[in-house]
């Protein structure tokens, strides 16, 4: 155990299938100390109306557990860089909605993928993301944080380089509301070799120089099924992918990371998959 006796808190992305009352028992069954959920169907624009009473009950039930913090992952359809005015507006509306739902569910922050530039040039796409965030913050009537998640750089995805994240963060008006969620698989696939201690330290130095380590608020702990720099996003079981056990050993014990909540978004067919990943993760703590 490290000197300050702080150890990383682990959790999973938990399914909301069957409704919110099913979420907490699922999280407890797999040993979550923190967790992430969707606020609704992540692949549909049209959402079932949000039941305030259900959200209140969920928040109360969550407070009875030691699971914290709770993260809301924004839907996949949302693209804050969209060149289509219609989809851009819809994405901003959706983000406002997510921030408000996060507040009602008792979450600390919403995690969003930076977006896809499609036919736009990179600087214009990054500007659009920043403008979307500023508009959404002005409309959402709470102080929920938004965490930008680094991407693998697949297809026309932006936000796979820390310099791109910096360009966005620099333009956000309400700096205290913006942070970063670092996905280990995405970073590795995008060309940050965090499978070695040297590579991890280099990545952390670059992050600190460009963004400041204070901006880093959460980790997505996923191994990568694809090779270093592949720019192809495939999550894999902890220790079974290209980052490997020794990679995660350094990550979960890194002095600048141990205070962060670590969410696994590893493949899952049954509880046994999550239980195995959790056991492996905990076994790495020194
Ligand atoms: Zn992720
Ligand atoms: Zn991913």
Cα 113 to middle of ligand 1, angstroms? 8
Cα 131 to middle of ligand 1, angstroms? 23
Question: What phi and psi, each to the nearest 5 degrees, are found at residue 11?
Answer: -165, -175
Rounded CA gap, 74 and 21, in Å? 20
Rounded CA gap, 141 and 28, in Å? 31
Question: What phi and psi, each to the nearest 5 degrees, are found at residue 102?
Answer: -60, -45
Cα 261 to middle of ligand 1, angstroms? 13
Distances (CA, A) of 155 to 116, 190, 220, 231, 232: 8, 12, 21, 8, 8
Rounded CA gap, 252 and 159, in Å? 23
Ligand at minimal distance from the CA of 71 is: 1
The residues of the chain scoring below 50 in pLDDT are 1-2
Ligand at minimal distance from the CA of 182 is: 1
Give the per-residue pLDDT at 4.
62
Distances (CA, A) of 73 to 6, 65, 146, 172, 248: 26, 21, 10, 20, 23
The residue behind tokens 């409704």 is 19
Cα 186 to middle of ligand 2, angstroms? 6
Ligand at minimal distance from the CA of 113 is: 1
The residue behind tokens 């930076």 is 114
Cα 16 to middle of ligand 1, angstroms? 17
Give the per-residue pLDDT at 1.
46
Cα 49 to middle of ligand 1, angstroms? 26
Instruction: Judge: domain 9-283, CATH 3.20.20.150.
Output: yes
What are the residue boundaries of the structural domains of the chain, listed by start? 9-283
Catalytic positions, please? 43, 73, 76, 113, 149, 183, 186, 220, 233, 235, 265
**Angle in degrees, CA 24, 28, 31, rounded to 5:** 140
Rounded CA gap, 42 and 37, in Å? 10
DSSP string, 13-45: E---TT-GGGHHHHHHHTT-SEEEE-SS-TT-S
Distances (CA, A) of 209 to 165, 196, 235: 12, 20, 28
Residues 6+ apart with CB under 8 A from 212: none
- Which pTM was predicted? 0.96
Give the per-residue pLDDT at 2.
47
């Amino acid at each position: 155990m490290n000197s300050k006796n702080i150890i990383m808190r682990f959790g999973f992305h938990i399914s909301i299938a069957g409704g919110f009352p099913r979420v907490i028992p699922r999280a407890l069954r797999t040993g979550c100390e923190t967790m992430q959920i969707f606020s609704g169907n992540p692949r549909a624009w049209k959402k079932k109306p949000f039941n305030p009473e259900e959200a209140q009950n969920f928040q109360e039930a969550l407070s009875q557990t030691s699971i914290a913090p709770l993260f809301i992952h924004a839907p996949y359809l949302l693209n804050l860089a969209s060149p289509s005015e219609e989809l851009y507006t819809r994405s901003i509306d959706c983000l406002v909605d997510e921030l408000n739902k996060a507040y009602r569910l008792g979450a600390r922050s919403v995690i969003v993928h930076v977006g896809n530039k499609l036919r736009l040039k990179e600087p214009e796409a990054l500007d659009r993301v920043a403008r979307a965030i500023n508009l959404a913050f002005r409309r959402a009537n709470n102080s929920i944080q938004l965490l930008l998640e680094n991407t693998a750089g697949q297809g026309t995805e932006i936000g796979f380089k820390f310099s791109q994240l910096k360009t966005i963060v620099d333009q956000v008006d309400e700096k205290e509301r913006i942070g970063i969620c670092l996905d280990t698989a995405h970073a590795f696939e995008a060309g940050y070799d965090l499978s070695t201690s040297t590579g991890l330290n280099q990545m952390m130095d670059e992050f600190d120089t460009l963004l400041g380590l204070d901006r880093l608020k959460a980790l997505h702990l996923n191994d990568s099924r694809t090779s270093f720099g592949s720019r192809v996003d495939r999550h894999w079981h902890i220790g079974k992918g290209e980052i490997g056990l020794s990679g995660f050993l350094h990550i979960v014990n890194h002095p600048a990371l141990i205070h962060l909540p670590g969410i696994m978004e590893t493949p899952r067919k049954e509880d046994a998959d999550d239980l195995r990943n959790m056991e492996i993760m905990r076994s790495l703590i020194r």
